[in-house]
Structure 1
Amino acid sequence: MKQLLTLHKIPLLLFLASCAFYWAFAFDLDRTDLIKLFGLYGALFFLSWKLLQLEKDNFKLLFGAAIVFRLIFLFAMPNLSQDFYRFIWDGKLMLQGINPYLVTPDEFITNPPIEGAKTLYNSMGELSAGNPTNYPPLNQLFFALAALLGGNSIIGAVVSLRLFIIAADVGIYYFGRNLLKKLNLPENRIFWYLLNPFIIIELTGNLHFEGVMVLFLLASLYFLQMKKWVLSSILFACSVSVKLIPLLFLPLLFRYLKLKKALAFYGLTSFFVLLFFLPFLSEAFFTNYTASVGLWFQKFEFNASIYYLIRWIGFRLQGYNIIHLAGPVLGIIVFLFVILLSFHRRNKSLPGLLTSMLFSISVYLFLATTVHPWYLVTPLLISIFTGYRFVPVWSLLIVLSYSAYAHPAFEENLWLVALEYLVVFGFMGYEVFKRTKNPIFQAPNSRKI
């Protein structure tokens, strides 16, 4: 035992230091304290990198550390996001047999039909309270289960949500490691995801369900590689029914599956997505849901890159914010880019398909009007199967976007936004144009970590 401790002395110290920093993040951090926020975040990145570097072949130790880091947050209230209050609100509505897509919290608060409504309403924020829910039906099912298991306790619901997300990360470890093995890539790359402090903080800490969504997406890709496309399509539908973003990848499957199977895949996926939505469908549902989704293209702005440049030009030329014009146009550009990418011959192989997926979601985020930190979960997971590292670098820098919380009026520091994207674009440009001969579609296949 003594010899074992001596052999792993430094990794043990790194593990204990990480535990202390995660505890401070979970229980002793105010999001307005930027120095502490940035300091803890940066330190955790360094500690995780060193731990992975020193113990890259010790899967039991690394996986155990990943689970312990997540369990530290188990009874903590999220301190960087208030979205979970809306999750619980929607879940409680579901338990009362009320369709959460038909009413906003603002409309219900005068005569709330759920226990603890005032606390949830006052805590979720004006933006969430004033708009219809945009969370797809399978996500709503998790919210309802958490509300049921949590009873009248908010922390009980939080613990339930957190356990769902931790369980999803366990599934990602299983499918991710096996898919890496089948692609002849280093299996320890799965820890680029599992030990990334960004993933631990944004998913387990802040309760965002992108982790559950990418679990279904990853499982779909795994069974797609196993040529079990029927099961793959069902899992893909589950992913879409947690978050809509995987819809972006559907056109890319055309060359991989070929025409007949691709059409069958699309049809089966559409059927199961419709099946999930079926209990909620009504005329009011379509009105509210399309309006809610449309807000992301025509109203909301946060941590954008190219859009902010366009907005600046719009103010100079027109004298007002042109988001209502620029948002939809940028969405169309993303759609056309993905369609063009879907015809590339490299999509016939899974490594090429994964690389196309990475650049599709990256272009989507680069052109988006709103890029919350947790939006990086999808490209980060996909990136470990391609070898491109600009997304892990982005996951370190994305914490700069939280500088907005330090301002009473929630104003962004555009210098920090510019720094974030200059580094990301610079690093991506280096990888694309300097490190590969056919950059956008070549998937590095190095056996190194």
Structure 2
Amino acid sequence: MVKDESVAQIAVLGWGLVIAGCILGIFFFNRRTYPLVFIACTALACIAYIRTLWLLGPFAGGGNRILALCLVLAAVWRVPLLLKPPTLSTDVYRYVWDGRIQRLGYDPYTVVPGNSKFRQLHTAETRLMNHPDVPTPYPAAAELFFRAVMTVKESALAMKSAIVLCDAALVAVLLSWLVASHRSHWWVLAYAWNPLVTLEGAGNGHVDLLGALCAVLTAASLVRGRRTVAAITFALAVGIKFLPVVLAPLLWRRVRLRDAALCIGILGALYIPFLGKGRLPFGSLGTYLAHWRFNAPVYSALERVFPAVGLFGVPAGFGFAVAVWAHRHLDLDSPQAWAWPIATTLLFAPAIFPWYLLWVTPFLFTRCTLPLAVWTVSSLSTYWPLPVWAKMMVEYGAVLCVAGGMLAQSVGARRATSFSV
């Protein structure tokens, strides 16, 4: 058994080298100039990642040196993408702009970057941001984070470096959680080797990784009985993006009343620097909900039948419902209890950009979340230069195939058990 596990560990390392080669291919070959190379590299990296997850299942532990080498490999393949300007998204330039104008005394919730009055505030990088015709849509904790990073250095590289530090911290928190819960620490690779994490973190510098760090800190702290810490980190997670608010039922009766009050107080305090303008500091969030649509087949189908105004609460409603179910039926220590409410909310959302799935990536260290792991990587097909229907076939078809296979396997196992009885 020990020998078999050692062989499996070497096999895992081999698949890691495949992922590393694919990441280097993405680094060297521009996706617009070499679209087929980009498709091949992302597809192969995703296959190698899923194969790795399959191999991790029976691991009991041990092999610390090889695991350390695997984590070093993950760190190394992030470096080229960190040093390269983002190629899949320009959101990081909005982060730089928001942090910069805060330092100059302006309110990101009211300032429109494309307004000619603010032309002199731009840098060469901030001129590259998307949607310059609207103010920021990001919540207060994210805005304060942008300001803090820009205080150190005003550049996209500085912002991406800060996100990579969050990435590293998340690995450390996951390792601690796995060890404390007596799980195989090899499951940390479910996060560290995820191609989506590398491309959207080191590559594009998305702030969702900071939010994911706060979310996993909430879960890990709650499991250990650190209720005050859990309340604080949950407030910060919601203050980075509103998505994790659907996890609130998981905290019900697991934190004290004073912890809940502290959470609400912190969330309110985050907005104090942005009050006093005669309006709620939500920026372009309303515009986003009303007009931005991307990769959202479920929401688009519902929108054809029901009025759009009545649909805004649907994603959160389904997410809350799943969280309530998870609170009643799953252990607090179950990663699927945290992953499925977020994934359900995203499934019904009006826009599903690949980096939104970063919120799910810390909670993939169980076979029960394998369909979600597939979704995190199949979502990268939205970057492929293919027709929309083809990209959706790849993204959601892969998830349905895996989920269907797992369901069939489960039904078959139950039938075999009933026959044996």
- Counterparts of 2:129 and 2:221, CA distance in 1: 38
Residue 372 (structure 2) aligns with: 391
Cα deviation, 1:151-210, whole Å, max 9, x if unaligned, reads 4xxxxx222112212211221111111212233322211111111111101111011111
Does 2:268 correspond to 1:274? yes
What is the 5 A alignment of 1:57-206?
57=63, 58-107=66-115, 109-116=116-123, 120-121=126-127, 123-125=128-130, 128-151=131-154, 157-206=155-204
Query: Aligned residues: percent identity?
Result: 21
- Summarize the Cα distance change of 1:336–1:218 in structure 2 as closer, same or farther, 3 Å threshold: closer
Does 2:391 correspond to 1:416? yes
Residue 447 (structure 1) aligns with: none
Matched residue pairs, number?
399
- Counterparts of 2:16 and 2:333, CA distance in 1: 33
AA at the equivalent of 2:233: L
Asked if the contact 2:299–2:348 (Cα under 8 Å) also holds between the matched residues in 1, the reply is yes
Structure 1, unaligned runs of 5 or more: 1-7, 152-156, 315-321, 440-449
Residue 383 (structure 2) aligns with: 402
> What's the CA shift for 1:80?
0.4
> What's the CA shift for 1:309?
2.6
- Counterparts of 1:199 and 1:340, CA distance in 2: 25
- Counterparts of 2:318 and 2:107, CA distance in 1: 35
Partner SS state of residue 267, structure 1: helix
> What's the CA shift for 1:146?
3.6
Does 2:36 correspond to 1:35? yes
What is the 5 A alignment of 1:302-317?
302-311=294-303, 313-314=304-305
AA at the equivalent of 2:126: L
Q: TM-score scaled to structure 2, two decimals?
A: 0.83
Q: TM-score scaled to structure 1, two decimals?
A: 0.79
Residue 218 (structure 1) aligns with: 216
AA at the equivalent of 2:351: T
- Summarize the Cα distance change of 1:206–1:174 in structure 2 as closer, same or farther, 3 Å threshold: same
- Counterparts of 1:270 and 1:10, CA distance in 2: 47
Cα deviation, 1:215-247, whole Å, max 9, x if unaligned, reads 111112212111110121112222222222221
> What's the CA shift for 1:371?
0.1
AA at the equivalent of 1:300: W
AA at the equivalent of 2:313: G
> What's the CA shift for 1:136?
2.2
Partner SS state of residue 398, structure 2: helix
Structure 2, unaligned runs of 5 or more: 1-8, 415-421
- Counterparts of 1:17 and 1:338, CA distance in 2: 39
Asked if the contact 1:255–1:343 (Cα under 8 Å) also holds between the matched residues in 2, the reply is no
- Summarize the Cα distance change of 1:273–1:79 in structure 2 as closer, same or farther, 3 Å threshold: same
> What's the CA shift for 1:336?
5.5
> What's the CA shift for 1:306?
1.2
- Counterparts of 1:342 and 1:14, CA distance in 2: 38
CA RMSD of aligned residues (A): 3.2
Asked if the contact 1:250–1:266 (Cα under 8 Å) also holds between the matched residues in 2, the reply is no
Residue 346 (structure 1) aligns with: 328
Partner SS state of residue 251, structure 1: helix
Cα deviation, 1:54-83, whole Å, max 9, x if unaligned, reads 998322101101111111223200000011
AA at the equivalent of 2:276: S
- Summarize the Cα distance change of 1:298–1:386 in structure 2 as closer, same or farther, 3 Å threshold: farther
> What's the CA shift for 1:362?
1.8
Residue 355 (structure 1) aligns with: 336
